[in-house]
Structure 1
Amino acid sequence: MRENISERAVALNEILMELYAKRENIEIDEIETKVSPYKDFAKDATKKLKEILKALKCDIEQFKNDNNRYDIPVVVAEILKIYLSEDSGKGSYISKIKRKKFFEIEFEEKINFIKKVAEQLREKYAEDSNKEKVFKEIDDLEKIWIGEAKYSEVVKDEVIETESIVNMIMEACMFKVASISELDGLVTVDNGNSADYSEEEILEIINSEDRVELPYSAKLSYQDRLELLKYFKVFLINNIKEWKKIVDIASELRQYNVEDDAINKSGLISSDELLKSAINEYEEEIKDTMKPIDIPKHTPEEFCKILNELGYKKKNKK
Structure 2
Amino acid sequence: MSAPAKKPLPESSAPGPAHPARPRSEVRARAKSWTVGERPLGMLLNRALQRRGGGDSEVFLALHPRGGNVVVRFSRRRGDDPRDPVQRERAHGGGPRHPNLVHVMGGGSIDGQSYVVREAVEGVPLDVVVEALAARGAVLGPPLVAMLGLRLARALDHLHRRGGTDGLVHGDVRPRNVILSRSGQVRLLDLGSAQPMGDAVVLAPRSGAARFRDAPSPSLRPEAAVDVHMLGRTLATLALGAWPSAARLHDALPELVPEVARFVLPCLAPPAERPSSSAVFARLIHQALPGIEGWGERDLVRALRSRGRPGAESGLRRRSWA
TM bin (shorter chain): under 0.3
Q: Normalising by the residue count of structure 2, what TM-score does the alignment of the two structures yield?
A: 0.25
Structure number with greater CO (CA < 8 Å, separation at least 6) is 2
Which entry has the higher C-alpha Rg, 1 or 2?
1
- Between Structure 1 and Structure 2, the one with more helix by share is 1
